[in-house]
Amino acid sequence: MSADARVVITGLGVVCPIGIGRSEVWENFRAGKSGLSPITSFDTTGLKARVCGEIVGFEPAEYVKPRKALKVMARDAQLTVAAAAMARDDAALPVDSVDPERFGVIFGGEVIRNPLTEVAQPFIGSMENGEYDFARWGTGGLAMCYPLSMLKLLPNMPACHISIGHDARGPNNTICMAEASGLSALGEATRVIQRGQADVMMGAAASSRVNAYDLLRHQLGEEVSSEESPLRACRPFDVDRDGQVRGEGAAVLILESGAHAASRGASPMAAISGWGAAGEPVGAGKTFNGDCIHRAIMKALADAKLTAKDVGFVVAHGLATRAGDRAEARALRESLPGVPVFAAKGYFGCLGTACGTVEAALAAMALAAGELPPTPHCDKPDPECGIDVVHGRPLTSFAGSCVIVSYTPAGQASALVLTKP
C-alpha cells in the first residue's frame, strides 16, 4: 500500500488516571507511575472493591464551551470533549485545513452511569412506608428527575458534542460493544476513510466506571479485586492476580488519509494497517474461551498483510481475572506465538469502552519512541498462561508493528494493527 493510501494517526488526546494530555501520560507511562489509588470519592462500605483508577485534577470547564453545556454532559462526555480538543491541538489541525463535510466522528460508547446523587431523589420519591414502590415511579419518582437527564445518558451524545464543537459534518456513528467499542470505533473510522467518505476522522471512546452503583453491580457478577494496596490490586497475567479494577478515561485519535496528511505537511505517529472483529457464543452452558480474540487477531493480520513474525509486541486486554487472562493467553499463543505481551490495566484499571483507544494511544507513543515500558504489577507471570509478558524491564528492540486487543466477557473482540509510518 502506498503512503498516500494509508490511514495514519496524526494526533491524539488522552485523559486518564496517569495523566491529562499526551506529554503527561507518556511521561508517567514511561516512568511506570500507576494511576490506581484507594477510592475516596464515595463511601466504599459494603463494597468489595477498595481501589480504582480515578482522574485527579480534571476541570471540565477548561474544555467545554459554552460552560452551560456542562448541564447536559455526563462525565463521559466531558472527558471526550477534553480529549478531542487535545487531539486536534496535537495534530495541529487548523479550522480551515479540512472540509467539514469530509470530517467525521466514530465514538465507542456504552451505558452511561448516572451519579447516585442524581438517582437518590427520584428513588426516594418512589418509596412508600420505607419500601420502593414501582407504581409510584411514574408520578412521584419521575417528577423529581432532571428534565434533560436523558441528554446526559444517551451513549451517542459524546459523539454529538465533539462533532458540533469541531464542525465535523461528515460520517458520525456510535458503536456500543462495551470494552470492545474503542478499538472498533478506530477500526470503523479507518474504514470510512478507506471508503473515500472522509479525509479526517476522530476515533474516540470514553467511560467513567468510578461509580458506587457500577461497582456494586459488577462485584455481583464479575471477578473484582478486593486488594487494598494499589500496587497489588490489578495484576494482569500475574500468578497472584485476584480480579479487575474499575477506572475512567477517554482518548481521541485524529485519523487522516495519507494523502490528506501529506498535503498539509503533517508527520504521522503511526499507521492503522489492519483491523478485525469477531464474536463467540457465551451463555447457555458455554463459557468464554477466547476464540473470538484469536479470530479477531487473525483477521487484523490478514487485513494488514502481516504475519506474527512482523509483530513487535501485543497490547493485551489483560483484565487481571483468573479465567479471562488464561483464555486470552491461549488465544495469543495460537495467533501470535512468541510475541512479547504487554498489559496496561495495572496503570489505570479497566476503562470500559475507552480501553482500546487509550491503549492504542499508548501503543502509538511506544512505537514512535521505540520503547515499551514493562507491564505494571506483574511480578510473577502465571506459568499456566504460557506467554512472554514484558515485565521487570522495558522492551527496547522490536519490529515495527504491534497489535492491540480488546474483548468483553460476553464474547466480543476487536484487534487493531499499528505500524510505524
Query: What is the chain's alpha carbon radius of gyration, rounded to the nearest angstrom?
Result: 21
The closest of 57, 55, 58 to 35, measured between CA atoms, is: 55
The model carries a pTM of: 0.95
Cβ pair 375, 346 in contact under 8 A: yes
In which residue ranges of the chain is pLDDT below 50? none
**Pairing status of strand 401-407 against strand 412-419:** antiparallel
pLDDT of residue 363: 98
139-148 contacts, C-beta under 8 A, 24 or more apart: 146/118, 148/71, 148/72
Domain ranges of the chain: 3-112+154-419, 116-151
| pLDDT value of position 213 | 79
pLDDT of residue 192: 98
* Paired residues of 406 in beta bridges: 414
User: According to the model, what pLDDT value does residue 386 have?
Assistant: 97
Q: What is the pLDDT of residue 12?
A: 98
CATH 3.40.50.300 applies to domain 3-112+154-419: no
Spatial neighbors of 364 by CB under 8 A, at least 6 apart, are 9, 12, 253, 269, 270, 418
Q: What is the pLDDT of residues 329-347, one digit of tens each?
A: 999 999 999 999 999 999 9
